[in-house]
Amino acid sequence: MTTFDDREKAFENKFQHDEDLLFRIRTRRDTLAGLWAAGLMGMTEEEAKAYARQIVEVDIGTPGPHDIRDRITADLHAKGVDISDHRVEKEMAHLLDLARQQVTTE
C-alpha cells in the first residue's frame, strides 16, 4: 500500500467511526426523549420502555429534523398534556447533550 492508500483508509475509518458514534448518540437521545415523554404521560415503567423503543423506530424509519419532536408533541397532546413544540425541542436539545456525554464516556 502507498501512503495515499493508507491515508484514504484512515479517513474512511474515521468517517465510519464518526457515523457510528452519531447514530449511537441519536439513538440514546431518542430513548431518553421517549422516556421523558412517557413520564409526562404517566406511563408505567414497562409502557415507558415500549414507548421509548417506538420513538427510536420513528427516527430510524422516517429520518428528518422534526420527526421525533412532532411524534412526541402529538402523543403528549393526545394524552392531554399541554406542551409546545419549542418546549419539546428544548428538552431534546438537553437530552442530546446528555446522550453525547453518556455515549462518549462508555
Domain parsing of the chain, residue ranges? 3-105
Give residue 1's pLDDT.
Answer: 61
CB 79 within 8 A of CB 41: yes
Please state, in angstroms and rounded to a whole number, the distance separating the CA atoms of residues 4 and 26: 33
Please state, in angstroms and rounded to a whole number, the distance separating the CA atoms of residues 12 and 61: 26
**CATH domain 3-105 topology:** Major Prion Protein (1.10.790)
Which among 82, 95, 105, 79 has a CA at the least distance from the CA of 34? Answer: 95
Please state, in angstroms and rounded to a whole number, the distance separating the CA atoms of residues 59 and 82: 23
Convert the pLDDT of each residue in 63-87 to its tens digit.
676 899 999 999 999 999 999 999 9
- Residues 79, 40, 86, 99, Cα dihedral to 10°: -130
pTM of the model: 0.85
